[in-house]
Amino acid sequence: METNYQGQYFNAQYFFCYDQLEMDRLAATRKDELRGVWVTTVRNNDFPSPAVFNGEFHLEQFKKEFADILATCRKFNLNALFFQVRPEGDAFYPSGVNPWSQYLTGEQGTSPGVPGFDPLTYLITATHQAGMEFHAWLNPYRLTPSTGKAKDRKAALEFLSPSHYARRHPDWVYFYHGQLFLDPGVPAVTEFMVATVDEILNNYAVDAIHLDDFFYPYPYLKDGKMHYFSDTSPDKKTYEKYRTDASQTIEKWREANINGLVYHLHQTIQRYNRSTGKYVEFGISPFGIWASEEEAIGGSKTSPGQLSSLQEYVDTKLWIEAGWIDYIVPQVYWAFDNELSPFDVVAQWWNDVVAGTGVKLYIGLGLYLYEEDQLWQDPEEIIQQLKFIRQLPNVDGFVFFTYHNLVTSLATTAPMTHALELLEREI
């Protein structure tokens, strides 16, 4: 073991030395790699700030804040923006199927009120002019925030705009752990998501449609106990109504619902590309572990005690093997020294899974962990993660979560500040 600049320990086996030929090869590779960042709009986490809609919509403030984002991306040599255009069933664009987002104007269903101004057109145009790709990031099912104060389904629905899809179809949602979700088991919900994506494709010059990891809700800790979606199964009535096979378990039915969404979105995007001659990609950013090798054949050498996508009814490995997605961005949000899921083990597993499939692999990097995880105290951690994935033959790039963690003035710890200094030189 060796020590870093603060006298803390790191494991030297993860730190790589390259000869000049290897450095030249890596430099050439970087010209083609995707270097991205997620821009989170839910709860105004990254953009825009509440100042944009204080009293009224302030167009110049909106433009200034986005210009700052693009400037930061240039500073870190990034070439792709993963922008959250539909955070909670509401939109950052004029839509015939989703209401205006409360995170854009301060009130769901209320437009910016600026004649001739389309926020999404502006964001895409500015991003392209900066030489970057624009990936339109949607969350398919979540409708209210995890910090929601509603005590039941009826109260949660009342928080939504009267024009909201869920208000018009209240039987197609369920309430779980204080949040409201569209029910994936209702066929019309999948049709609604197809219509949402189709609308974006036909009205905006996006480079990709991008989904995150929120499908069925994650477990949560309360009173010292883990609570799982299956404990209460708020979708049980939907299962009994819509399952097509009496022998199908509710777990397999849920998995089929998510697979159906991914397949139908794949078909929708492919159909659009064929009819227009364009090439819009389809990508998903799932939880970082598909399954451990003890949970499923072909799983990773990670602990069975670690949460996995399969436990959440999400079969990411199938999507790759079936060719339903163009790229995948697993959220490998762990340090090299994580006991349950070491970074190198997980990243290597994904590298092997995509081999020969034609599906591009970008690694999601948890820069935010410098402010949340005790294992992230060494500024070199993120640098060595970059170096590690750059020597894997099937990794095509990386995406940082989340944008505000790249802003030096917002860093709250010394390791984070120093890590950003190192990143600026490394990328």
Q: Count CB-CB contacts under 10 A for residue 49.
A: 12
- Quick one: which H or E segment has residue 220? strand 220-222
Query: Own/partner pairs for 411-418, CB < 8 Å, 24+ apart?
Result: 411/370, 411/371, 412/371, 413/370, 413/371, 414/6, 415/6, 415/370, 415/376, 415/377, 415/378, 415/379, 416/370, 416/371, 416/379, 418/5, 418/379
Return the pLDDT at 16: 41
Percent of the chain residues topping a pLDDT of 70: 92
Cβ-proximal residues to 358 (8 Å cutoff; 6+ apart), any chain? 323
Encoding tokens for residue 345? 């083990």
Checking if the pLDDT of 363 tops 80, the result is yes
Give the N- to C-terminal CA distance of the chain in Å, as an integer.
Answer: 27
Pairing of strands 2-3, 9-10: antiparallel
Percent of the chain residues topping a pLDDT of 90: 90
**What is the average pLDDT value for the chain, to the nearest integer?**
93
Q: State phi, psi for 397 to the nearest 5 degrees.
A: 155, -165
Pairing of strands 208-211, 281-284: parallel
| C-alpha dihedral, 102 to 103 to 104 to 106, nearest 10° | 50
For the chain, the farthest-separated pair of C-alpha atoms sits apart, in whole angstroms, at 64
Give 163-185 pLDDT, tens digit per residue.
999 999 999 999 999 999 999 99
Burial of 302-333, coded b for 16+ CB within 10 Å and e otherwise, reads beeebebbbbbbbbbbbbbeeebbbbbbbbbb
Peptide bond into 48 cis (omega under 30): yes
Instruction: Identify which of 206, 203, 172 has the alpha carbon closest to the alpha carbon of residue 188.
Output: 172
Residues 245, 173 contacting (CB under 8 angstroms): no
More confident residue, 24 or 149: 149
More confident residue, 30 or 356: 356
Return the pLDDT at 5: 27
Return the pLDDT at 15: 39
Residues 5, 418 contacting (CB under 8 angstroms): yes
Cβ-proximal residues to 118 (8 Å cutoff; 6+ apart), any chain? 93, 94
Mean pLDDT of 322-345: 98
Adjacent-strand bridge partners of 220: 227
**Domains in the chain: ranges and CATH:** 2-143+184-214+253-426 (3.20.20.80)
DSSP letters along 6-41, please?
TS-EE-GGG-----HHHHHHHHHHHTTSEEEEEE--
Residues 118, 204 contacting (CB under 8 angstroms): no
Give counts: helices (H), strands (E), the chain: 14, 14
Instruction: Identify which of 157, 173, 66, 161 has the alpha carbon closest to the alpha carbon of residue 106.
Output: 161
Give 49-98 pLDDT, tens digit per residue.
999 999 999 999 999 999 999 999 999 999 999 999 999 999 999 999 99
Mean pLDDT of 341-366: 98
SS3 51: helix
Checking if the pLDDT of 192 tops 70, the result is yes
Residues 86, 196 contacting (CB under 8 angstroms): yes
- Quick one: which H or E segment has residue 388? helix 380-390
Lowest mean pLDDT among 18-27, 278-287, 357-366, 397-406: 18-27
**Model pTM score:** 0.92
What's the pLDDT band for 7 if we cut at 50, 70, 90?
very low
Encoding tokens for residue 48? 């825009």
Return the pLDDT at 145: 85
> 380-390 vs 414-426: helix axis angle to the nearest 10?
30
SS3 234: coil
Residues 84, 38 contacting (CB under 8 angstroms): yes
Q: Which amino acid is at 6?
A: Q
